[in-house]
Amino acid sequence: MAGQNSRKITKYPKNINNINIGVVFFVAVAIYIIISVFIYLGKDRVIPYQVMDGSLSANNIYEAIAIRSEKIVQADRAGYVYYIASEGSRAAAGDFVYTIDESGKLIEYLKSQGSEEVALNDESMSELRSQIMSFTSSFDEKNFYTAYDFKNSLDGTVQKLSNSSLLSDIESLNLNNSIARINAQEPGIVIYSTDGYENLSPENITLENFDQSKYEKKQLINNTLVKKGDPVYKICDSEDWSIIINVKDEEQAKELESHQYVDVKFIKNQDVSSAKVSTFTNGNGDKFFMLSFTNSMITFCKDRFLSVEILTESNNGLKIPNSAIVEKSFYTIPQDFVSDNNDSTKSVLRDKYDEQGNKTVESVNISIYNEDDSDCYIDTDVLRAGDVLIKPDSTATFTVGKTGTLKGVYNYNKGYADFKQIEVLYDNEEYSIVKSKTRYGLRVYDYIILDAESYDKNLSQNIDDSQATIDESADGGSTTDS
């Protein structure tokens, strides 16, 4: 029974025909895709950049000192001063500017009314909003001390506005005999601060005056006790004013000095005004530029330091990254050897020998990349060194070999690189401003290759690889000139 129940099991080899061809094909395709992706990621790809109009404004921003015709008005008596005229407003001769309370009764009345709210009209609220917006737009954390100037100025404005609403109560308090109403002696812009720069002039300005960390502005506070002879307000009596800047870069100084007038953009409010340019040197030999205006003084009458941007024609044009700029060598040939074709192209006549060794002449189409007074710049890929060119309608010849260098970019409008010569007007570490609308140059909205150096390396490598292939083929046989 045991022998009958025993069974012999024989193992057969797996049939190769059971392999799934679909799986093999899928794996092969996946491997191909992965390899292709790695090859693609490893290649340096051409990144285009669109050319736009622009300027290098960052290099032309300066800290300027404002100089005006300013006169400090002193108190003619002692007492508590109450400002009535708005700071920064224009006062005519005889206009009511401030009062002085000699008895001190008005200050006692104001203290007794300290808890009473004073309603401000729309004009007063507009003045406060304008003052706050002006500060927030120009505030720089590096110059935090300006926040204290703003606080004092705002306190004075609020107190001045509240005092204006109390003028109607002066008569009811029977204080007319002890309160002096002071009027402006001459017309001008009223300012309630002093800083010691009122008498600053081009003759006595120094580099230390530009150090804002040492600058001190004294705000004339409302409702304070003044002595006879103390400053109570300042008046700017002329619309003509100037700003002074110190240009340390020699190239920028030469550029600015070449202009009689320039446009100046005020960073504070982005306003642009035309200024007359002049230069002067102080007693220490320091050179400064003075930009003079005939308007807008009232807008900046409370500012001693202003951030300004100098706008000149030379730093406006086509803005391109420096990485796109490349220098390329070209053959230079006399203009007399270039002919115009009927289809608006250009060509040259070149000596050629046929298969039998007979001398003939062929026409070669060329592209011109630049011209000077006598020569044309031709791509080195079209002609070869040693080619003999023939002058049209003449027996004169010229042997190709002389080269010249052009600065330019690779235009990429048509999907391939085409060199375009550029004329750099201004540059910094990252960008250049180039002249627009030149004969062989760029136009706005053109596309250029962003990294010209990498493109040149790849192009050179491709040429070397192609040449190696040609050399290997030449080793195995001979070629004939067809």
Q: What is the pLDDT of residues 389-448, one digit of tens each?
A: 999 988 899 999 999 999 999 998 887 888 999 988 877 788 888 888 888 888 888 999
**b/e 438-468 (16+ beta carbons within 10 angstroms → b):** eebbbeeebbbbbbbeebbeeeeeeeeeeee
| CB-based contact 328:453 (threshold 8 Å) | no
pLDDT score at 3: 52
Mean pLDDT of 257-263: 88
Mean pLDDT of 318-325: 90
- Counting residues of the chain whose pLDDT is more than 70, the rounded percentage is 77
Q: pLDDT-derived band of residue 232, with 50, 70 and 90 as boundaries? A: very high
Whole-number mean pLDDT of the chain? 80
63 pLDDT more than 70: yes
Six token digits for residue 274:
């035309």
pLDDT score at 463: 41
3-class DSSP state for residue 177? coil
70 pLDDT more than 90: yes
What stretches of 282-423 adopt beta strand conformation (E)? 287-293, 305-311, 316-321, 326-334, 339-340, 346-353, 359-366, 368-371, 375-378, 388-390, 397-399, 403-411, 418-421
Euclidean distance between the first and the last CA atom of the chain, given in angstroms as a whole number: 95
143 pLDDT more than 80: no
Q: pLDDT-derived band of residue 337, with 50, 70 and 90 as boundaries? A: very high
318 pLDDT more than 80: yes
pLDDT score at 66: 94
Mean pLDDT of 368-397: 89
377 pLDDT more than 90: yes
159 pLDDT more than 70: no
Mean pLDDT of 265-290: 88
Q: Tell me how crowded residue 20 is: count the other CB atoms within 10 A of its CB.
A: 8
Q: Which residues contact 24 (CB under 8 A, 6 or more apart)?
A: none
The four Cα atoms 24, 27, 28, 30 give a dihedral, to 10 degrees, of 160
| CB-based contact 70:198 (threshold 8 Å) | yes
Q: Residue 278 and residue 259: Cα distance in Å, rounded?
A: 9
pLDDT score at 412: 87
Averaging pLDDT over each range in 45-59, 343-357, 401-415, which range is the top one?
Answer: 401-415
The four Cα atoms 422, 425, 429, 430 give a dihedral, to 10 degrees, of -50
pLDDT digits (tens, 9 = 90+) for 356-371: 778 888 999 998 999 8
Q: Residue 117 and residue 14: Cα distance in Å, rounded?
A: 102
Q: Residue 409 and residue 420: Cα distance in Å, rounded?
A: 5
- In order of their start, the domains of the chain are 55-68+238-311 (2.40.30), 69-237 (no CATH), 320-467 (no CATH)
Mean pLDDT of 68-97: 89
pLDDT score at 477: 34
Mean pLDDT of 463-477: 40
Q: pLDDT-derived band of residue 190, with 50, 70 and 90 as boundaries? A: very high
Counting every residue, how long is the chain?
482
Q: pLDDT-derived band of residue 172, with 50, 70 and 90 as boundaries? A: low
Mean pLDDT of 330-340: 92
C-alpha distances out from residue 102 to 17, 31, 176, Å: 119, 98, 11
DSSP track, 442-466: --TT-EEES-HHHHHHHHHHHHHHH
pLDDT score at 315: 57
Q: Which residue has the higher pLDDT, 131 or 383?
A: 383
pTM: 0.53
Q: Which residue has the higher pLDDT, 114 or 120?
A: 120
| CB-based contact 66:303 (threshold 8 Å) | yes
pLDDT score at 314: 52
Task: Give the lowest-confidence range in 115-119, 253-257, 327-331, 415-419.
Answer: 115-119
